[in-house]
Amino acid sequence: MEIERVSFLSDTYRLEGRLAFTQGHTSASGIVICHPHPQYGGSMDNNVVHALFEGFSSRGYVALAFNFRGVGMSEGAYGDGTGEHTDVIAALNFLERLPQVKGQGLGLSGYSFGAWVGLKACVEDLRVKCVGMVSPPIGMLAFDFLEGYETPVIIVSGDEDQFCMSKDVEQLLQLPSGPKEWKVITGADHFYFTKAREASEYICQRFVHYLPPGNIRIQT
């Protein structure tokens, strides 16, 4: 497994990211991973983001985690969701152009705020073939843009999650018209202190059914 520090432009801001890919493969499906709210300490170093990054890359995907504008070494300042929407599109564009991904599909997974802003961008982007959300903050942000969405959606929430309650997820799942799957993790609240790997495992396992890694091994 190769892990590299990368950077790419979003508007005029240079964003920092972390890229993982399997050596010895010409190309594989690419996954963008979006972190939780920048104004509440969210970054690509978050425990859930890290678990998703490891989970996808270990299955042969090309995984890209990145910091939204104004976070860590990424330039700019918090964009009130609008700027971060642009950052997600920039991350997808960057990933699609990589030789490790060229010719394969794209997917996206996000946690909390990252699930909201990531999914909002994906609804407008037909390149994204599957979306995974860990604890979308349904109690805080609107998800009405999901109405009629046909791309597969996978959700994980905790039974003690105060920002993503099961009754709200049930209502949310009535909006998209495509395939949808949902797992409730017992004993998990919104922060997944000891449950991040379990959340990641479900998302990554279900992703394979809709967007396989698609690795093409180099013949030697």
Residue 132 included in any domain: yes
Comparing C-alpha atoms, which of 167, 170, 115 is closest to residue 145?
115
The one-digit pLDDT tens for each residue of the chain (220 residues) are 899 999 999 999 999 999 999 887 678 999 999 999 999 999 999 999 999 999 999 999 999 999 999 999 999 999 999 999 999 999 999 999 999 998 789 999 999 999 999 999 999 899 999 999 999 999 999 999 999 999 999 999 999 999 999 999 999 999 999 999 999 999 999 999 999 999 999 999 999 999 999 765 544 4
- Beta-sheet pairing, 2-10 with 13-21: antiparallel
pLDDT of residue 210: 96
- Specify the CATH number for the domain of residue 18: 3.40.50.1820
Residue 29 included in any domain: yes
Q: Which domain holds residue 185?
A: 2-210
Q: How many CB atoms lie within 10 A of CB 119?
A: 26
Total number of domains in the chain = 1
**Which pair of tokens denotes residue 28?**
């594989």
Residue 220 included in any domain: no
pLDDT of residue 25: 66
pLDDT of residue 220: 40
Residue 90 included in any domain: yes
Quote the CA–CA distance of 167 and 51 in Å, as a whole number. 26
**Which pair of tokens denotes residue 181?**
């799957």
Residue 216 included in any domain: no
